Amino acid sequence: MFSALMLYQESKTTVAHVAQIDESQLPDGDTIVAVDYSSINYKDGLAITGKGRIIRDFPMIPGIDFAGRIIETSSDAYNVGDSVVLTGWGVGETRGGGLAEKARLDANLLVPLPEGLSASQSMIIGTAGLTAMLCVDALI
């Protein structure tokens, strides 16, 4: 069992609770990550408060990004212990996200944590910071 922020729909209202869940409640995937850090951005705020139609299937673990360590994988792309980052791909919207102690997904959605950047730093930047950086880089 591990902790996760779970979103439920009750009388057409989104309700958030920290719940104890087990791995069987995670979505399918070939890799399990121990989540060290996540962030809460605008889209997560909309999802958690129910202000936007971000989540359509309940219950759901929100969190569109996370950084952590692989604890189990059947993929050849990574090894147990590798540090990885996930941003986007519908995670936290259409499938369980990063606001939990564990996440299960396909390894092809992950990227290695860049050398010289800690998991904490990667989530301080977060998806919004990464997107802004890519936009500035494209403009330059």
Show me where the domains of the chain are located.
2-139
Closest residue by Cα to residue 99 from 56, 66, 71 = 66
The pTM assigned to this predicted structure is: 0.90
Task: Tell me the mean pLDDT in the region 56-75.
Answer: 96
CATH topology of domain 2-139: Quinone Oxidoreductase; Chain A, domain 1 (3.90.180)
Tell me the percentage of the chain whose pLDDT exceeds 90.
83
Closest residue by Cα to residue 82 from 73, 93, 94 = 73
Q: In terms of C-beta density within 10 A (0-12 exposed, 13-18 middle, 19 or more buried), how is residue 131 classed?
A: middle
State pLDDT tens for residues 29-56.
999 999 999 999 899 999 999 998 899 8
State pLDDT tens for residues 72-107.
999 999 999 999 999 989 999 999 999 999 999 999
Output the pLDDT for position 131: 80
Q: Which residues partner with 7 through β-bridges?
A: 16, 60
